[in-house]
Amino acid sequence: MSPLTDKAKKRNAKRPEVKRPEAKTVEMKKPETKNSNGMKAPKTEVERSLRMFRRMLMIRLFEEQVNELYTRALMPGLAHLYVGEEAVAVGICEALRDDDYITSTHRGHGHCVAKGAAPNRMFAELLGKEAGYCKGKGGSMHIADPATGNLGANAIVAGSAGIATGAAFSAKHKGKGQVAVCFFGEGALGQGVVYEVMNLAALWKLPVIYVCENNMYNEYTHFLETTAGDILSRGPAFGVPSESVDGQDVIAVYQVASRLVKRARDGEGPSFLMCNTYRYTGHHVGDISREYYRSKQEEHHWKTERDPLKLFAEKLIAQKLTDAPSLVKLEDEVRAEMKAAVDFAIAAPYPNADKVEQDVYA
């Protein structure tokens, strides 16, 4: 464990306290029973809630296995874990149809799972196997799954902003009511392309939602050291309505996303949503000594007081939508599912050497 350097201590002392807008807590609403959005519509509130809880659990346990693969030296390269941020991907994707688009980031596993990707093919990709989403040639930061509308992860910060906006442009012209969601971290707010696309999306009333996952850190730097002024004032300069939500509350995320998605589908144009969240682990799996840029107390606070799964489980139990033993059973099931998916990937063959140049574009 490395102590804070003098430079970091000085910087932390100068750093203003993080004041985030209080997110409104929204009560659970009965979901629609008819299949109006093209996804398998849950008939009851219980079904929707349990589906969201399961997806969040899948992401958490998927990432647990990724970390395990890394520490056992079975995975080539690195991965950026989504643990702690599960409610964002799941709350947003629950509001989407199967044929809606998403674009993702270097921290993309959660988005993939939330949009419906198969964990065994994701693990296969991480291990460089032919069964992977990019036939083993892309790895963590290039997983794409067109069948579920996932246009792909992107190793370039803000790299998917243009892709999501282009998808929204095509959606508008196809006229089938699809929308596009662009996930990006708050580090992308320093990239000009984000504002170029917001400008066009507003002018052309494109059905796109810019979802900023503010986990407070751009790699090893606190966002207040890189981001001037008020983040939520940026969108309105282009006429893009902007708001924030508690990214640890999956129901709140789902409800605000449903409203913004409906708005986009109805032809009212783009919006910007900042989800306040936290990554529990390092910037990537190898970032294990973090005290030079953030404290153990801060991590502890988020993990114990603001955990999206724990908060959601408590809510589900309090509302008598489930009980503790059922959630334990669910966790066992999902853990077994993830283990089977990893075993599939470990046993899967690598692509043949004569295919090394196939499907590689850059």
Ligand X SMILES: Cc1ncc(C[n+]2csc(CCOP(=O)(O)OP(=O)(O)O)c2C)c(N)n1
H or E element that contains 180: strand 180-185
Q: Mask 176-205, x = binds ligand X (CB under 6 A)?
A: ---------xxxx-----------------
157 touches ligand X by CB under 6 A: yes
Helix (H, G, I), strand (E, B) or coil at 129: coil
84 touches ligand X by CB under 6 A: no
110 touches Mg ion by CB under 5 A: no
Which residue, 86 or 125, has its beta carbon nearer to Mg ion? 86
148 touches Mg ion by CB under 5 A: no
From candidates 104, 215, 242, 248, binder to ligand X by CB under 6 A: 215
Stretch that binds Mg ion, among 105-113, 168-176, 177-185, 311-319 (CB under 5 A): 177-185
Shortest Å distance, C-beta 217 to Mg ion = 5
The pair of three-digit structure tokens given for residue 310, joined into one six-digit string? 């724990």
From candidates 28, 46, 118, 155, binder to ligand X by CB under 6 A: 155
From candidates 123, 133, 169, 217, binder to ligand X by CB under 6 A: 217
86 touches ligand X by CB under 6 A: no
- Binding partner of residue 109 among ligand X, Mg ion, none, CB cut-off 5 to 8 Å per kind: none
106 touches ligand X by CB under 6 A: yes
Shortest Å distance, C-beta 316 to ligand X = 27
Q: How far apart are CA 72 and CA 207, in angstroms?
A: 43
The count of other CB atoms within 10 Å of the CB of residue 7 is: 9
Strands 221-222, 217-218: parallel, antiparallel or unpaired by DSSP?
A: antiparallel
H or E element that contains 276: strand 271-276
Write the DSSP assignment of 190-259 as a string of letters.
Answer: G-HHHHHHHHHHHHTT--EEEEEEE-SEETTEEGGGT--S-GGGTGGGGT--EEEEETT-HHHHHHHHHH
227 contact partners, CB below 8 Å, separation of at least 6: 186, 189, 190
* Angle at 19 (CA atoms; ends 15, 25), nearest 5 degrees: 155
Q: Which residue is nearest to ligand X (CB)?
A: 185
247 touches Mg ion by CB under 5 A: no
Helix (H, G, I), strand (E, B) or coil at 324: helix
Phi first, then psi, for residue 100 (nearest 5°) are: -75, 160
321 touches ligand X by CB under 6 A: no
| Residue in 235, 257, 212 with CA at minimum distance from that of residue 107 | 212
Number of amino acids touching ligand X (CB under 6 A): 15
Which residue, 170 or 289, has its beta carbon nearer to ligand X? 289
Helix (H, G, I), strand (E, B) or coil at 110: helix
Number of amino acids touching Mg ion (CB under 5 A): 5
125 touches ligand X by CB under 6 A: no
From candidates 215, 242, 258, 271, binder to Mg ion by CB under 5 A: 215
Shortest Å distance, C-beta 275 to ligand X = 11
The count of other CB atoms within 10 Å of the CB of residue 329 is: 12
Shortest Å distance, C-beta 274 to ligand X = 12
218 touches ligand X by CB under 6 A: yes
111 touches ligand X by CB under 6 A: no
- Chain residues binding Mg ion by CB under 5 A are 185-187, 215, 217
- Chain residues binding ligand X by CB under 6 A are 80, 106-107, 155-157, 185-188, 215, 217-219, 283
